[in-house]
Structure 1
Amino acid sequence: MIKNGPTLRRLAGAAAAAALAIGVAGCGGSPGGGSSDTSHVRALLNAQPATLDPIAGARSAQVVWATMVEPLVNTGANLEPDRTGIVTGWERTSDTEWTFTMRPDLKFTNGEAADAAAAVSTLELTRDADTSILKSYFGNVESFEAPDATTFVVKTKRPQYDIPNLLTTVYLLPPKYYADKGAAGFSAAPVGTGPYVFEDAKAGREFSVKANPDYWGEKPANTGVTFTWATEASQRLALLQSKSVDVSFDLPPAQAEQAENAGIEVVSTESALKITGFLESTKPPFDDPELREAAALAIDRDQIVQGIFDGKAVADGGLLNVKPGTQPAQAVTADPARAKQLVGSSAPAVNLTYPAAQYTNMEEVAQAIGASLEEAGFKVKYLPLDYGTLVKQVGGKQIDGLYLFAGVPNVAVPDFFASGFMKSESITGNCPDPKIDELVAEALEQEDAAAAQPIYEELNTLGVVEKHCYIPLYKQVYNYGLGSGVEGVVYGPLNSVDFTNATR
């Protein structure tokens, strides 16, 4: 049974992708060794993030940086924006203008004013920086203005219904500190308005934060968190069993079952994180639409969910259905015989690229997909990469064939995937099509998400069912284990974690 944690105080958000962050395994040292404080939480994650800079970083790393840096807009239990965070209100003052009100007298932990000018600076970086991972979402924004210390205005070129949603994944940065330190310097020691402040980092081993005594909101119930990592699931379980850590994230089904059998509490949540196969339609072999169709028909997502995850994932054939529990109106059903017929005797070579250590059981998933493609007649070359390299290759359009990537809708609206993955100018840009671009723009111009939904269904059918540029596979059921006496660690479906109520 899936157990969902209580409402997160902050469900801020990605992705893109995305997985978890920072750690220790394979690098020597004892996990969480930086503190003997019994109220200091030791968190074991599955991978080290490429950066803790929210401008450039995949939203997976927010598990670490969101302890210190906060989003402009909070997300509520219904995965919609709420008014409980830095931004306390907004109004759509015209079809192309949104006015936001900020909490007054906030300061960053380095003393800089966390005001509307800081919000404008952060939003301009998000829209304009070459390294911005959210750049494609803000292309329609004409200007950001701060008429006073607690008010900022977002003006768009065309109507755009989801501006408040987008601000849930924009993290407020101190302008002077970020400019002085640069992206690398900020990543080494983030500064924000959050419930924790940077304490210490040991290169390649761990990253620690301590409770912020001057936090504007409810103070943490613990003195801080130390983040370490272990890429092997068996090691994460072993460290939890040995009481070296208090919480071990990303336990695959086998390890989760072992933990439960050993009397360890395991919490499971249906995540919005969706693993998808992307076919690069601008390069051989998948510039051939029949071969894209063959690949889509060859892969059986239900078999992957049952065979690899023992049914403890959620098969999902849609790209734009972002909230847990939803499915698309139309999907592709596996048909291996038809796939083989489409490939014929041509034996096309295809690269299968994937982040081997980033997502639960990803190596097994890649091998299963490769076997299905080979059965259909493709010649498969397996290319496991570290996650940071994959992100760079995808963003730099340096990749071909089929690659596995997680979509993490840190903003729970379909446009997060439509603009992020489907537009010609997007993170992936793997399926350029003027019709897709027109539909994405048309959807954003609707009054709200409900009015846009029929357009998103049309987009999903076009990109997934007709053009076969995307092969949605499954939503992950996310498992994490808690040590004896540990309570209050809450993982949310948008890949965020709230540590503020954690105790041990």
Structure 2
Amino acid sequence: MSNTDAPSPLSAIASTVSRGGTSRRGFFALGLGAAGGALLAACGGAGTAGTGTGTTGPNAQLAGSASGTLKWGWALPTSWDPVTSSAGWDVHALSLAYAGLTQENEKGDAIPALATGWKYNSDGTQVTFTLRPNLKFSDGTALDATAVKQSIERGRDAKNSLIASQLTGVKTVTAPDPVTVVIDLARPDYQIPNLFAGKTGMIVSPTAFTADATGLALKPVGAGPFTLTSYTQNSKAVLTRNPNFWNADQIKLAGVELYPLPDAATVVAGLQSGQYNLAQIPGSQIAAAKAAGLTVQVIPSLVVATLDVNTALAPFDDPDVALALKYAVDRKALLQTANFGYGDVAYQPFPAGYVGNNPAIGEPYPTDPAKAKALLAQSKYGPNPEVTITTSTAAGVPEQLQSQLQAVGFKVKIEVIPAAQFTQIVYVQHSRALTVDGFAGRDSAAQAFQVLFGQQGLMNPGRTVPPELLDAVAKIAVTPLDSPDYPAVLQAATALAVKDMPNVFLYTIPRILARSSKVSEIPAYTVVQRFEGVTIK
């Protein structure tokens, strides 16, 4: 996994640090600060092509009318170039400016986008996408098969690409005609349609990256529903409706203004004043938002709060200590502190209803202080091992976690690392034993496993993986999404990971959006927030 998929620690909302600019931590404050049903199913499997509709090219300019500007308090991206974006959560902002060959529906199924469909060969080593005709980038250049080929190759081959590790299986890309893209794979991989629905599959204008690749960080050139017209780093992005978007007839907004994550203490006032008309809020502000006459939507997501455990470092190099940690944690209490109870206690990386969620797992590590104490007592470190909780804020959940661990015998310190240094210290240097963290989910289940449990996965700092788990994960990619065996294959890997890996999953974090009465209902997309059909009175 590359740095583009680096998870973000869940930091205090009071810090008001945005995920734009130099930091990418602010969003997760909503899940773990002091204030605190996706089915990747059968589309585009072997011999299967998706179908879809949309208005494309010049005709899109005639499709309906758009009005109103959505003022979204959310997060600014680390980079407007999907190849150099360094945060998984950037996908929400980047999806305003870019489109991929596929996208995901509300359930998380891969469905057509720039491509009308796709088809695998018999052994899953080649997938052919058919593009919509007359597509254009926001700079007016043609988005044809050659452009798609060049964009994918750049993501795979560019020296500064942070999505390259997701494309190592792409052997060759060819464009036999303007609307046909053929991807030959080094090995069978039926996850490609889902993988291409996220940042990895966003198509960038070759004209733009050939002329000024570094400039894309501040000025995206894609084919998404909107075009960036103004950008002030760490402050504001202004986007206007793109009439040449393939699905332009479903975009009813004239534009979007994107802002950094609002401070929890002022977000409701900002919505009341009109500074925002849509904003992410923590669970602590739901009552205040409703009292102010705002509408609140709680949208399930793939985000889950976690503790990253480095089993290469003391005291977690002793399996008894790593297991004691799982029994020492009171997940329900942490959920209440972090998000006022919004979300669900989690023992696995996937939420209930997602195809990877294994219901048979149940609650394998219920809070059991006595068992935790017994495990510590028999460990080589004795009943009172020393441990440091690494975080980007000392408030809220880290403090409560400290208390829970001390109750079973751990001697606990809290280390606060500035957000701008967090990735380097925790995920590149692998120099911390216990980290308060969060996993934002991935469009592809295989990609999610790679991030969490792969031998090079950033959320696997100990870099150890049992052979049986490696084998189980390998089966995911070679199983077609429409195969009746796919759910069982994925859930078997989940069960092994929960049993054998040290990651401590805590609770799910829904997307909580408060909006003005002038804004219509926001579509409940599990993985990436989109705005088809949204209107403003």
State TM-score, norm by structure 1: 0.84
Alpha-carbon distance between aligned partners in 2 of 1:391 and 1:352, rounded to the nearest angstrom:
15
Alpha-carbon distance between aligned partners in 2 of 1:221 and 1:446, rounded to the nearest angstrom:
38
Kindly state the Cα deviation for residue 419 of structure 1 after the two structures are TM-superposed: 1.8
Counterpart residue number, 2:476: 443
Q: Work out which of the residue numbers 329, 339, 342 in structure 1 matches 2:360.
A: 329
- Name which of structure 1's ranges 187-196 and 107-116 shifts more when overlaid on structure 2: 107-116
Secondary structure at the residue paired with 1:441? helix
- Name the CA shift for 1:383/1:50 in 2 (closer, same or farther; >3 Å): farther
Work out the percentage of aligned pairs sharing the same amino acid: 24
Counterpart residue number, 2:277: 246
Q: Work out which of the residue numbers 167, 185, 188 in structure 2 matches 1:156.
A: 185
Q: Work out which of the residue numbers 145, 149, 174 in structure 1 matches 2:174.
A: 145
- Name which of structure 1's ranges 414-423 and 344-353 shifts more when overlaid on structure 2: 344-353
Alpha-carbon distance between aligned partners in 2 of 1:274 and 1:379, rounded to the nearest angstrom:
26
Aligned residues: 467
2:510 matches 1:482: no
Counterpart residue number, 1:256: 286
Q: Work out which of the residue numbers 464, 470, 474 in structure 1 matches 2:498.
A: 464
Give the conservation status (yes or no) of the 8 Å contact 1:52–1:188: yes
Q: How well do the aligned residues superpose, as a CA RMSD in angstroms?
A: 2.8
Counterpart residue number, 1:94: 122
Q: Work out which of the residue numbers 223, 226, 231 in structure 2 matches 1:196.
A: 226
2:389 matches 1:352: yes
Kindly state the Cα deviation for residue 117 of structure 1 after the two structures are TM-superposed: 2.2
2:227 matches 1:173: no
Counterpart residue number, 1:237: 268
Q: Amino acid of the residue matched to residue 175 of structure 1?
A: P
- Name the CA shift for 1:161/1:335 in 2 (closer, same or farther; >3 Å): same
- Name which of structure 1's ranges 110-119 and 65-74 shifts more when overlaid on structure 2: 110-119
Give the conservation status (yes or no) of the 8 Å contact 2:6–2:423: no
Alpha-carbon distance between aligned partners in 1 of 2:106 and 2:145, rounded to the nearest angstrom:
26
- Name the CA shift for 1:438/1:192 in 2 (closer, same or farther; >3 Å): same
2:66 matches 1:67: no
Counterpart residue number, 2:77: 49
Give the conservation status (yes or no) of the 8 Å contact 2:301–2:511: yes
Counterpart residue number, 2:49: none
Which has the larger strand fraction? 1
Counterpart residue number, 2:374: 341
Q: Deviations over 1:186-229 (max 9, x none)?
A: 12111111221111112332111112233343253232111122
Kindly state the Cα deviation for residue 328 of structure 1 after the two structures are TM-superposed: 4.2
Give the conservation status (yes or no) of the 8 Å contact 1:332–1:464: no
Q: Could you tell me which runs of 5 or more consecutive residues in structure 2 were left unpaired when the two chains were aligned.
A: 11-17, 22-65
Superposed counterparts of 1:8-407, under 5 Å: 17=7, 22=20, 39-45=68-74, 47-57=75-85, 58-83=87-112, 85-95=113-123, 96-129=125-158, 131-169=160-198, 170-183=201-214, 185-219=215-249, 220-249=251-280, 251-320=281-350, 323-324=353-354, 326-330=357-361, 331-344=364-377, 345=382, 347-356=384-393, 363-385=395-417, 389-407=421-439
Kindly state the Cα deviation for residue 318 of structure 1 after the two structures are TM-superposed: 0.9
Secondary structure at the residue paired with 1:94? coil
- Name the CA shift for 1:15/1:266 in 2 (closer, same or farther; >3 Å): farther
Alpha-carbon distance between aligned partners in 2 of 1:309 and 1:139, rounded to the nearest angstrom:
38
Alpha-carbon distance between aligned partners in 1 of 2:164 and 2:353, rounded to the nearest angstrom:
23
Q: Deviations over 1:225-277 (max 9, x none)?
A: 1112245212112211222221121x112201111122211111122211221
- Name the CA shift for 1:150/1:200 in 2 (closer, same or farther; >3 Å): same
Kindly state the Cα deviation for residue 65 of structure 1 after the two structures are TM-superposed: 1.9
- Name the CA shift for 1:295/1:271 in 2 (closer, same or farther; >3 Å): same
Alpha-carbon distance between aligned partners in 1 of 2:519 and 2:503, rounded to the nearest angstrom:
40
Counterpart residue number, 1:9: none
- Name the CA shift for 1:488/1:453 in 2 (closer, same or farther; >3 Å): closer
Alpha-carbon distance between aligned partners in 2 of 1:354 and 1:497, rounded to the nearest angstrom:
31
Alpha-carbon distance between aligned partners in 2 of 1:141 and 1:38, rounded to the nearest angstrom:
41
Q: Amino acid of the residue matched to residue 205 of structure 2?
A: P
Secondary structure at the residue paired with 1:277? strand
Kindly state the Cα deviation for residue 386 of structure 1 after the two structures are TM-superposed: 5.4
- Name the CA shift for 1:427/1:105 in 2 (closer, same or farther; >3 Å): farther
Kindly state the Cα deviation for residue 385 of structure 1 after the two structures are TM-superposed: 4.3
- Name the CA shift for 1:163/1:63 in 2 (closer, same or farther; >3 Å): closer
Give the conservation status (yes or no) of the 8 Å contact 1:299–1:334: yes
Q: Could you tell me which runs of 5 or more consecutive residues in structure 1 were left unpaired when the two chains were aligned.
A: 1-13, 24-36, 357-361
Give the conservation status (yes or no) of the 8 Å contact 2:479–2:486: yes
